[in-house]
Structures are given as structure tokens and as C-alpha cells.
Chains A and B, each alone.
Chain A
Amino acid sequence: MTPAMELRGVSVNFGSVKALQDIDIKVYPGEVHCLLGDNGAGKSTLIKVLSGVHAPSKGEILVNGKAVRFRSPRDAQDLGVATVFQDLGMISLMSITRNFFLGREPTRSRWPLSRIDKEKANAVAKQAMADIGIDVRDPTQAVGTLSGGERQSVAIARAVHFGARVLILDEPTSALGVHQAAMVLKFIIEARMRGLAVIFISHNIHHAYPVGDTFTLLNRGRNRGTYAKSEISRDEVISIMSGGEDLKAVEAEIQGLLAQIAARQSGVARQ
């Protein structure tokens, strides 16, 4: 099977800083591909390369087996690579419909009378959201009135509606409550079932592990390996995400401190 998106030997340098080195990643249709790594591992830079914000210094990007060059995020979107950015990519003072169709407004009549077809836009936006299971009360309400989870949902519905074949989600659940995060995870599964390739970046193992099929581990700007779910356990993923042995060391240290406190308290009690 041809990967929906592939990176071959991609490196990104910012001056003398090597943010990414020789990254190879293949993402297949109908797969949720999780990118894991601690802060500074290069996740953000990688997302920016995938979404068309940064061009790689070296290496190539392939979409559906064809080498491509993104000059802007819009270029990537036009080739079916849609990114839901962490800061949501929504304009809070504008309505759901206006945000949904921003940059791709459906129009009626010809220039100079051409205007946005609002009835159609509202209906399509409402339907597209209903398709992935979100019921919008009023598509003309400002996005600023929505909760974080609902905004993520609008962004995902928009990407799916405009024919995304690759959906990149940058920490989509990090700012959300339990219920809203569950809702977003449901949409990720929904998108996967529609045959999209989903690239999912998350810090939260409870969110990433259940929905992920494949896990790519990033560390200090390098790809430390890609594993199928069957090849890697939840605990192994946790240990990698938290920086390996660090967590055990921290845990031991905390145990030591707690023991000290307990000892001191029993000493106080005896006096």
C-alpha cells in the first residue's frame, strides 16, 4: 500500500540548531499514527513541516507517493493534508459557518454581484458537523462561545469536509476536560474509519494509546523507531514519553522524601 504521506530523510536546521535530523516516517490511510516525545524532541517542528508552515532544509515530502513542496499551509490543504493546530486555528469573533468556510466560501451569482451563499453554507456546515456526530445549535453563533472541545470538533469537521486525506492533530486533547477529550478521541476514530490517515501528537498516554495503531518515538530531533501497537506496551510508551529512566528515578526520589517526612512526623509524635 502507498503511504498517504511520507517523509524521507527530512532535516530542519534553524541556524546552527539541528531541530530535526534524517526523519523517515510513513503514514498509511486508515491508520492513527502517534508521534511521541518529550518537550524539545522536535514534535512541533515536525508538525510544521508536515503542515506546510516550514519547508525542510533537506529531504523530501511525499503525498500519495508523489514528491511535493508546500509553500504554505494552504498548499498542503489543497493536497489533502489538513492540520488542526493547538491554538485551534479559529477566529473567535466570527461565526461557526464563517470559520468553517474561511478561504473557501461558497458563492452565488457572478461578479460583481457574487455573494456568499449563506443558506447553503449554514446548512453544509451543520450537516458536516452532524456527520461526525456534533449537533450544532446555531451555526451563526460566534466560535468564541464554544467550549474548547467543540472548537476542536469544528476544526476536525472542517478538515474532513474539505477532503483531507491526512489529518494532523497537534495536542488536540491537552486543554480539554475528560468528557470533551473523549469526544475528540471519538472523532479521531471516526476519521480513521473513513479511511483518513491521522497523525496524532499527544502528551497523554491515556489518550494516545487507546486510539493509536502505530507509534513513532522522537528524541533530540531524531526518529528512535516506529512500532505497531502489538510491538510496544503501554508501560513502554509511558517510559519513553517521560524520558525513560527519569521517571523511575523521580519516583524513587519522591518515595525517599515521603519516607523522610513520615520518619520526622513519628519523631515529633514520640516527643
Chain B
Amino acid sequence: MTAVEEQVADNTAPDRFGIRSKRSGEADERLAKTGRMTQLLRRPEAGAAGGLVATIIIFALLPGAANLYSLQGSMTFLTLSAELGIIATAAALLMIAGEFDLSVGSMIGFAGVVIGLTVRHLGLPLWGGIGCAFAVAILVGYLNGLIVVKTRLPSFIVTLASLFILRGLSIGITRAVTGRTQIPYILDGVPDPATAGLFNGHLFTGFFQWMGTQGWIATRSDGVPFVTGIPMSIVWWLALTVLAGYVLTQTKYGNWIFATGGDATVARNVGVPVDRVKISLFIYTACAATLLATIQVMEAGSADTTRGLLKEFEAIIAAVIGGVLLTGGYGTVWGVMFGALIFGLVQMGIFYTGIDTDWFKVFLGLVILAAVLINNWIRVKALGRGGGR
């Protein structure tokens, strides 16, 4: 064999300049092998999962842990997590599609007012009032979405306008009709416990009662357990999380959500109905806010025009803690669930440890900063060096 033939036969051997030629298909020797652990850490919810474990451990070591992690304490923080999780999941899907909805908090107040006024002052049955609230939500979400896709203005600005408009309408209409800013006694004289129970009831009450009679869980003096069952808010939260997770990762529509947030022009060029995806998600966030409003109205029996204040930011924070990128195109629903859990746990944890609750906000600010830094780091990891666009 001549020297030339030898080189052709083994063209991966370095030539006289020490340069290795490349052949497609071969594993690149520069490609580091990634282990299972690294792959797990690269998942978008890795940071949130780690944060949740750390939070659980920290509060277990602080005074008040026994109360926080008791059945009653757990149910309380899980309910807080659930209420946030319902809107945070919706906010997360919209963020993955590259948009924000700042009107979520105002929508919670407005939906409550719609239920209160239609039931108390128009004499509609309870299901009718709730139906009206959802109809209004669909309209509000549609308008938010339509304005965003038609004007191409940042959704941040468009929904900031809706935030003020909806809050103003809630207060204005309620005061004009009732002379006050609250609508009390909504459930009084409404003979519809079945509809109310869908939102304020408890699941597995028989099981909890049985555990109470066995003496396994704490009961009141009359034998009724303190925790009568799993609140419906938690059931709604878990159901919506599983549904949203399935839609996002398993369906065509979910693929379109990622593509819309990843690069809307590219998505449009291959035929993804980008505008429809965005509008439908604005409708989803408005409906999620209305679901939360319904749960709160059914539990309190009253509506308050100031309900849901700042909830839009809490929802976005939970999504960001959960690994959803602020720039869109990346994130998971499971991460958002962890984010909501951290939120509820810290809020109740601070209460039980006896720390001044004012510190909750300081903590929140620090967590947001940490979460964003971790997210950026994870994205760079996910894309290898450089982190892509």
C-alpha cells in the first residue's frame, strides 16, 4: 500500500499537520458522555424540585415544623399552593407561548363580582351566575388575545391596560349597584349545594371520618375530624396540572405552544396557527382566574372587588421558579407545580415559625432572582455551550 492509499483507508488518523478529518456518523471524540444525573439536572424543573426539597428541609429544622407538617397544616399550605397553582399553570402555558397576562388578578376580582351581582341582583341560579362569569372570562381572554395578535403590541402593555380596566369595572359597577365594594351573602337562600360543592366541597370525606373514628387523625370534641377531606381546590389544581401537562407534551397543540414561543415567524412559516394558539391561551388564563374566583366565592360566600390583587405576579413568579423561561419557548407544567408548592409552603411556614410575615416578600424577591439565574444556567446546559438564541 502506498502512503496515499494508507491515508485514504484510515482517514481518521491525524495527517502531518495533526488534523483529524471528520466523518459524519461517528461519535465525536469531543462530545462528553452525559450521565443520567446530568440529564436529570438538565430538565427545566430541576431547579424547582431542588428548591422544594431544600424548603421542606429548612422548615423541618425550624420551630413550628410539627404544626406545619401536621395533617391540618399540610392541608392549609396545599390549599394555598392549589389556589396559586390553578392560575400559575395557565400563566405558564401562555408564557411558553411567549406572552404574559397581567390581568389575571383583576379577572379574579371581576369574575367574583359577576357571580355575586348576577346571583344576588339578577336572581340567576348559582350555576347561571358561574356560567355568566366564564362567558365574561372567555370574552375578556379573547379580547386580550385579539388585541395582542392584531396590534403586535407587547402583551405586557395590553394586559396591563386590562388589569386597570377590569379592576376599575369591578369597583365601579359594584359600587353603582350595591353602594359598597363587597357583595355578601351570595350563597344565602340559593338552594344549590351540588353546584357549590363542586368548588368548595371536600373529597373522600367518608375516609377522613373513618380515620377520625379510628383515632388516626385529630378530631374535634364532637368526633368530626379537623380535616374533613381533600378540598376541591386541590382536586381542581391537580386535575388541571395533569391535563395541561398532557396537552403540552403529548399533543399537536402542545407542540404548537412551544413553537409559538420559540420563534413565531418560523412556526407561522410551517403552518402553525400562531394567532389562534395565543388567543386560546389568553382565554385559558382568564378562565383559570374565573375558576379560582368561583372557588373563593363559594368558600367565603361573598365577593370582594379587591380579590386577586397582585395574583398575576405571583402566578408569573411560580412559573419562573418552575423553570419557565421569561422569553418563552421552554418550560414544564411539573416545574410550575413545584413552584406553587414552594410558594404555599413558605407562606405558611413563615406563619408557623412565628417569623414576621413581612419577611415573606423579602424572601420572595430573593427566590425570584435565584430562580432566574438557575433557569439561565439550565438553558445553557440544555443547549450545550452558548445557550442558543
The answer to whether A and B interact is yes
Nearest Cβ on chain B to A141's Cβ, whole angstroms? 9
Query: A91 to B329, Cβ gap below 8 A?
Result: yes
For residue A90, which residues in chain B have a CB less than 8 angstroms away from its CB? 266
- Apart from A93-B258, A145-B384, what 19 extra A-B contacts exist at CB < 8 Å? A73-B269, A74-B269, A91-B258, A91-B329, A92-B389, A93-B325, A93-B330, A93-B388, A102-B255, A103-B267, A104-B271, A114-B251, A115-B251, A116-B251, A134-B24, A144-B383, A144-B387, A145-B383, A183-B24
A–B pairs, 24, beta carbons within 8 Å: A73-B270, A77-B270, A85-B269, A89-B269, A89-B270, A91-B262, A91-B263, A91-B267, A91-B329, A92-B388, A93-B330, A93-B383, A94-B329, A102-B272, A103-B267, A104-B270, A105-B255, A115-B246, A116-B255, A137-B27, A144-B384, A144-B387, A179-B21, A183-B24
Cβ-based interface call for B268 (8 A)? yes
B39-76 CB contact bits vs A (8 Å, 1 = yes)? 00000000000000000000000000000000000000
Nearest Cβ on chain A to B249's Cβ, whole angstroms? 9
For residue B330, which residues in chain A have a CB less than 8 angstroms away from its CB? 93
Nearest residue, chain B, Cβ from A78: B271
For residue A135, which residues in chain B have a CB less than 8 angstroms away from its CB? 24-25
For residue A102, which residues in chain B have a CB less than 8 angstroms away from its CB? 255, 259, 267, 270, 272
Give the contacts of B237-252 with A (CB-CB under 8 A).
246, 250-252
How many residue pairs bridge A and B at CB < 8 Å?
Answer: 95
CA distance A256 to B346 in the complex (A): 76
Interfacial residues, chain A to chain B (CB-CB below 8 A): 53, 72-74, 77, 85, 89-94, 98, 101-105, 107, 114-116, 118, 133-135, 137, 142, 144-145, 179, 183
Query: B22 to A93, Cβ gap below 8 A?
Result: no
Nearest Cβ on chain A to B352's Cβ, whole angstroms? 40
Task: Return the 6 tightest CB-CB contacts between A and B, nearest first.
Answer: A74-B271, A144-B388, A91-B262, A135-B25, A144-B383, A103-B270
CA distance A92 to B272 in the complex (A): 16
Nearest Cβ on chain B to A150's Cβ, whole angstroms? 9
Nearest Cβ on chain A to B275's Cβ, whole angstroms? 12
For residue A179, which residues in chain B have a CB less than 8 angstroms away from its CB? 21-22
CA distance A105 to B271 in the complex (A): 11
- Classify the secondary structure of B's interface with A: loop
Nearest Cβ on chain B to A233's Cβ, whole angstroms? 31
Interfacial residues, chain B to chain A (CB-CB below 8 A): 21-22, 24-25, 27, 246, 250-252, 254-256, 258-259, 262-263, 266-272, 325, 329-330, 379, 382-384, 387-389
CA distance A137 to B32 in the complex (A): 13
Nearest residue, chain A, Cβ from B262: A91
Nearest residue, chain A, Cβ from B384: A145
CA distance A133 to B384 in the complex (A): 24
Query: B24 to A133, Cβ gap below 8 A?
Result: yes
For residue B383, which residues in chain A have a CB less than 8 angstroms away from its CB? 92-93, 142, 144-145
Query: B262 to A94, Cβ gap below 8 A?
Result: yes
CA distance A183 to B21 in the complex (A): 13
CA distance A123 to B3 in the complex (A): 41
Nearest residue, chain B, Cβ from A83: B269
Nearest residue, chain A, Cβ from B28: A137
Nearest residue, chain B, Cβ from A179: B22
Nearest Cβ on chain A to B242's Cβ, whole angstroms? 14
Query: B271 to A103, Cβ gap below 8 A?
Result: yes
For residue A115, which residues in chain B have a CB less than 8 angstroms away from its CB? 246, 250-251
Query: B382 to A142, Cβ gap below 8 A?
Result: yes
Query: B258 to A107, Cβ gap below 8 A?
Result: no
Nearest Cβ on chain B to A258's Cβ, whole angstroms? 29
CA distance A28 to B375 in the complex (A): 50
CA distance A42 to B24 in the complex (A): 35
CA distance A115 to B21 in the complex (A): 43
For residue A118, which residues in chain B have a CB less than 8 angstroms away from its CB? 250
For residue A89, which residues in chain B have a CB less than 8 angstroms away from its CB? 266, 269-270
